[in-house]
Structure 1
Amino acid sequence: MQDRIAYKGLTFDDVLLEPGYSDLLPSEVTLESRLTRSIPLNVPIVSSPMDTVTESEMAIAMAQLGGIGIIHKNMTAEQQAMEVDRVKRSEHGVIVDPVTLPPETTVGEASRIMDERNIGGVPITVDGRLVGILTRRDLRFLESTETPVKEVMTKENLVTASEVTSLEAAERILLENRVEKLLLVDDQYQLRGLITIKDIDKNLQFPQASKDSRGRLRVGAAVGVNDMERVALLVEKGVDVLVVDSAHGHSRNVIESVREIKKEYSIDVIAGNVATAEGAKALADAGCDAIKVGIGPGSICTTRIISGIGVPQLTAVANAAKALKGTDIPIIADGGIRYSGDMTKALAAGAWTVMVGGLLAGVDESPGEMILFQGRSFKRYRGMGSLGAM
């Protein structure tokens, strides 16, 4: 038996980091890292794609604080795409593709769209030319839902600015005119964008937020193997990164799925989970932009108990990091994070970011069902391989 033991493995509770001399003050410390080869994060924390952890509300909160959330796939492709869309539309610098409506739209339909998209106003256009704006204030006290928006929208004295207006200049214009939305137009009065005071305020409130090149919050989404229809919908909604999520990432189906996505789309792809150097190398060779490491370390995961398979998490991360040294492919330590010190150990072992589920399952933003037990509130948390989730 002894000659069949490949090596001894270590997990988070087995080690401590030895302290040493430091030139840095606490105020000088930066936690900036990268999720993938091309996606930076100001905080190296990722929320897990579990149906009791990450939907749009969690993803928004994670991105605002400098991390990122991965929307779970335990829903229809259309629902998941809508969750991604909610994140991408929740906050902007300049909204370059705002929702618009024609003047003939009924106020009932306009109200439905505003509720669905969670927006407070809609520019009204004809062939792209701005003719008015409809806000919730215009919809108050209306008795008929069949009234066309052209009869109630604001048409005169629209507050507009050039399409090249900076956020600082936009804030001044909004404050001077006491309005919440600034319409950006070109010389032909064609609508080119929209800036809201809400987004400007959020820029000040969340300076560390993870945003794309258009000022929108970043978000990822999990997909299964051979699910290109779901991938297409998510890419259409502007998802920043796709996660090919599998209990055993070192497999033919996962590798082929990564290759197919990378061939069809110019988008970052994360894949996993693996627990060995060979698994990490295989996914790197397939074209992954980051690799998830961890089989069985999660707080509610029974993989190791049921199947007897896995590698102690700290050793798995260290082995994968060593195998990928020089490739510039980040490693995500997924699972087993019970305390903040575990995050530190994972990063020291070679991870670029950590993925957490249980630590976030009980917060307000998680989608888990609230349960009242003996006078105390709890949130339901389950593994994605449990009967209830499958």
Structure 2
Amino acid sequence: MTKLYLTYDDVLLLPNFSEVTPSRTDLEGKIPIIASPMDTVCEKEMALAIGRLGGYGIIHRNLPINEQADQLAWVLKQKVGCGAAVGVGPDMKQRVEILVKAGAKEICVDSAHGHTKHVGEAVSWIKTFHPGVECFAGNVATAEGAAFLFRAGADAVKVGMGPGSICTTRIMSGMGVPQLSAVIDCVRAAKKFKGKIIADGGIKTSGDMVKALAAGADAVMLGSLLAGTDEAPGKKVKIKGKWFKYYRGMGSAAAMKHGSAERYGQAKTAKKFVPEGVEGLVEYKGKLADFIYEFIGGLRSGMAYLGAKNLKELRQKAKFIQITPAGWSESKPHSIYDYRH
């Protein structure tokens, strides 16, 4: 145990000489954000909205097969790209076949532990029988796990074991890797296979997204940050004059009862589940477009500080420095009274 593993709050990026302003950065008409396939984050409304903004949505699998396929088809009819998630349970092949008939060009094999025989076999089956379908797979947290999925045929690998705000995998099982180090290690593996890496979980701010992309991720996957928007399917509630939206992990007991138990290796017929997630409320954010505008503004600002005109230059010019807890405390607003709350 000699290597120190770090997460986003453990580091900052060194600024460079720059002739680039935020308005002159080029994202090539796309935003590197994917809406997480969670049942309080991404259904058809979210997939359509984020797709129109240049991002991407993956419709969750806690839906009856035909309903998921109908939602996918509805989005695709709007001329917007959209993916769908599947598990590795008994209905996997049937679900894939129905989704492909509905027009799916991207399928996400979604598991809490992607470095397993079942996930590898699912990816191989999809790429064998539907070679034209792009396959995302995960989740993993090591270079070995990423390489395993790329060898199985995955086009993109989701990285993240336990960093999400509603995930308790690390607490329940003792397993996981701090997210920044996990991304860096998996990016190294991806280069050997010319595959893509999606940093899934642990993104709390636009600065975290900048760090993930600088570490080599091709995109970030967001859950809690999108769950508070109008387009997310979670219920909106008002508490003491303030609006919130319901958000739950796919490893929460409530989500497991609705079908995601198999994602965590637990039988759907179990009388009692062992949760690896929680449920709660997130602050209501309003329209997705308004949130994304500000969030991407943070990315463009980070690129300008590095002197990077595009994401390729961001990765080339990025230099991380490790900081102390005091350094991180200094990074946040301090020494003022927030009169708004």
1:237 positional shift: 1.1
Q: 1:312 and 1:268, CA in 2 relative to 1: closer, same or farther beyond 3 A?
A: same
Output the CA distance in 2 between the equivalents of 1:48 and 1:31.
21
- Alignment pair present for 1:218 and 2:81: yes
Q: More helix by proportion, 1 or 2? A: 2
Q: How does 1:169-184 map onto structure 2 within 5 Å?
A: none
Q: Does 1:80 align with 2:68?
A: yes
Q: Could you tell me which of 18, 24, 37 is aligned with 1:22?
A: 18
Could you report, residue by residue, the CA deviation over 1:174-232 in whole angstroms, capped at 9, with x for unpaired residues? xxxxxxxxxxxxxxxxxxxxxxxxxxxxxxxxxxxxxxxxxx10001100015010001
Residue 93 of structure 2: which of 228, 246, 263 is its match?
A: 228
Asked if 1:46 corresponds to 2:42, the answer is: no
Q: Hey, what's the Cα distance between the residues in 1 that align with 2:193 and 2:23?
A: 31
> Equivalent residue of 1:324, what SS?
helix
Q: In the alignment, is residue 263 of structure 1 matched against residue 128 of structure 2?
A: yes
Matched residue, 2:102: 237
Map of 2:3 onto structure 1: 7
1:326 offset after TM fit, Å? Answer: 4.0
The residue aligned with 1:182 is none
The equivalent of 1:185 in structure 2 is: none
SS at match of 1:378: strand
After superposition, the C-alpha distances for 1:33-85 in whole angstroms (9 at most, x for unaligned) are xxxxxxxx711000000000000000000100000001000011001001101
- Work out which of the residue numbers 298, 315, 322 in structure 1 matches 2:181: 315
Q: Which runs of 4+ in 1 moved over 6 A?
A: none
Number of corresponding residues:
253
Question: Which residue is 2:284 aligned to?
Answer: none
In the alignment, structure 1 segments of 5+ residues that lack a partner are: 33-40, 92-215
* 1:270-315 deviation digits (Å, cap 9, x = unpaired): 0000000000100010010000000000011111111110000000
Q: Percent identity?
A: 55
Alignment partner, residue 247 of structure 1 = 112
**Alpha-carbon distance between aligned partners in 1 of 2:235 and 2:22, rounded to the nearest angstrom:** 38
Matches within 5 A, 1:1-390: 5-32=1-28, 42-89=30-77, 91=78, 216-226=79-89, 227-265=92-130, 266-390=132-256
Please identify, of 222-231 and 63-72, the stretch whose mean Cα deviation from structure 2 is larger: 222-231
Counterpart-to-counterpart distance in 2, 1:63 and 1:334 = 18
Pick 1 or 2: higher relative contact order, CA cutoff 8 A, min separation 6. 2
What's the CA shift for 1:6?
A: 4.8
Gaps of 5+ in 2: 257-341
Shift in Å, 1:377: 1.9
The Cα of 1:21 is off from its aligned counterpart by 1.4
SS of the residue 1:355 aligns to: strand
Shift of 1:328: 2.0
Q: Which residue of 1 aligns with 2:296?
A: none
Whole-angstrom CA distance in 1 between matches of 2:72 and 2:25: 32
Give the Cα–Cα distance (whole angstroms) in 2 for the partners of residues 252 and 327 of structure 1: 19
Structure 2 CA distance for aligned equivalents of residues 6 and 242 of structure 1: 38
Write the distance in 2 (CA, Å) between the matches of 1:348 and 1:26. Answer: 16
Aligned Cα root-mean-square deviation (Å): 1.1
